[in-house]
Amino acid sequence: MTIISIGEVLWDVVGEEEHLGGAPFNFAAHAKRLGHTVRFVSAVGEDLRGHRILERMAEMGLSARYVRRISATPTGIVSVRLDSARQPTFTICRPAAYDFAEVSDAEAGELLRQEPDWIYFGTLFQMSEQGRAVVETLVRRRRAARVFYDVNLRAGCFDVSLVEDLMAVAGVVKLNDSEAAQVDEMFDRTQGSLEDFCRHYTHRFGWDCVCVTRAAQGCVALADGEFVEAAGYDVDVVDAIGAGDAFAAAFIHGLNRGWPLSEIADFANRVGALVASRPGAIPPWTLEEAENLQRRRGGVG
């Protein structure tokens, strides 16, 4: 399939180390690893970190055609603190180059003439006026492309009206269980079970599918009235940075192939677990390793 992924690319600074990241970029890299064509839309600074991103993209086989170069603003960075469970907390430095991403009318037409199957975006990128305009342009002008919204709420980087607007335009939505609680709080709704959450917001926004990740506990998902719970996989977590983005790439992979919902959720859990077991948001992993996880547990979770 062909995917347009729109949003931030940056460096995650963890202690003395820097790892390439940004949820939409992580998603793009993992979708590419799954064999899909990905057009990534963002911006980097005319600085060393920006040049390193472009070099890494070339190594990965990801086109930088729609990655703008910004001279006045540095490439994005995020300071990451890991808790005792190796779960990250992010401090985002802005403005960053990705805040000034653009697509011209000609570029938008070129992207959409390629008949993308999916358009993917998150929340953080669209807190900038230019970021929001990029997404609106491509979503408004799309034809058959489905819209995947990976909520990814970061402190100070969202507002209720934006999240509501993005949920309304999306066909498939992914978020984690903490974000589900935040969404209920946003809309003054009493929090219930995750199944109740999925059914309520699917009815409210008309989603085709919603999935809620639960870290080591796996995930739940709802599509076409079917609700499934998929158990997580027991791995030694190095850091959970990028695990949710890998999960999203694996989930969209299964959706596009028309797999049963339980198989999609299980596959996404396995890919997310592999990434969590390695440092950085885009570590190497293979389909064979994902299959071996399943075999060790004796079948689908």
Tell me what percent of the residues of the chain surpass a pLDDT of 70.
Answer: 99
Please state, in angstroms and rounded to a whole number, the distance separating the CA atoms of residues 148 and 116: 12
Of 23-32, 34-43, 90-99, 213-222, the poorest mean pLDDT is in 90-99
Residue 301 has pLDDT above 50, yes or no: no
Q: Which tokens hold the place of 231? A: 């158990």
CATH code for position 64: 3.40.1190.20
Q: What is the DSSP letter of 144?
A: S
Q: Which domain holds residue 147?
A: 2-297
| Total number of domains in the chain | 1
Report helix angle 243-257 to 261-276, nearest 10: 150
Kind of pairing between the strands at 219-223 and 209-213: antiparallel
Tell me how long the chain is. 301
Token pair listed for 178: 């903490």
For every residue of 92-141, DSSP letters joined together read: E--S-GGGG----HHHHHHHHHT--SEEEE-SGGGGSHHHHHHHHHHHHH
Residue 72: the pLDDT is 94
Q: How far apart are CA 46 and CA 74, in angstroms?
A: 7
pLDDT digits (tens, 9 = 90+) for 103-117: 999 999 999 999 999
Q: What is the pLDDT, as a whole number, of residue 161?
A: 96
Helices (H), the chain: 23-33, 48-60, 105-113, 129-141, 160-169, 177-186, 194-205, 243-257, 261-276, 287-297
Q: Is this model's pTM higher than 0.85 or not?
A: yes
Q: Give me the pLDDT at residue 300, please.
A: 47
Tell me the average pLDDT of the chain.
Answer: 94
Does the CA dihedral 271-276-277-283 come out positive or negative?
A: positive
Work out the average pLDDT over 83-109. Answer: 90
| DSSP states along 188-216 | T-----HHHHHHHHHHHHT-SEEEEE-GG
Phi, psi at residue 123, to the nearest 5°? -100, -50
End-to-end CA separation in angstroms for the chain = 26
